[in-house]
Amino acid sequence: MKNVAIIGTSLNPESKSQILAGKLAAVLLERGVTVETADLREHDLPPAGAPGCWDHPHVAHLKGIIERASHVVLAVPIYCFDVNAAAKNLVELMGHSFDEKVVAFICAAGGQGSYMSVMGLANHLMLDFRSVIVPRFVYVSSADWSEDGELNPELEPRLALLGDDMRRVSVAAG
């Protein structure tokens, strides 16, 4: 695992998935992994397919982050049994930047019923871009946070396990 890009896709100012992204970045940095992060709240991305969208400077910046990475982590909120629209838009805009990347997910959801919600996006990444999906992902529901917004400490080792699994998965160049 050479370089990990962690992209927080939530646009919510009080995002739990963005908090998870920061916690995973800290775990990986402690292990000596090079980490580059992006927070979509700081990037005004156009909708995919809009005129000129692929030439937008924020698209070029995020493509660079993904292209430099050997592994990409998408930190996603779950809405209506699916990843948020911003995550899907990101993948559409980045397109072949995801070619042959290892991709992992960390999710923040309201309840336990949406555990499989990343599968549609994971299938898209696998079939269209030959991304390799890490079979473990971290799924955190609202019950896993304290009233003051702290993550249940029992869940933090799951982020380390995700890091371990990511380290074991790689894609040979060429």
Helix axes 156-168, 16-30, angle to 10 degrees: 60
- Element (DSSP H or E) covering residue 158: helix 156-168
* Domains within the chain, CATH numbers bracketed: 3-168 (3.40.50.360)
Residue 167 CB-density burial (10 A; 0-12 exposed, 13-18 middle, 19+ buried): middle
Q: Is the pTM of this model over 0.85?
A: yes
Helix axes 57-68, 85-94, angle to 10 degrees: 80
Asked if 70 and 134 touch (Cβ cutoff 8 Å), the reply is: no
Q: Which amino acid is at 75?
A: A
- Using 50 as the pLDDT threshold, list the residues of the chain that sit under it: none
Q: Which tens digit of pLDDT belongs to each residue from 143-158?
A: 999 998 899 998 889 9
pLDDT on residue 173:
64
pLDDT on residue 120:
95
Q: Which tens digit of pLDDT belongs to each residue from 39-68?
A: 999 999 999 999 999 999 999 999 999 999
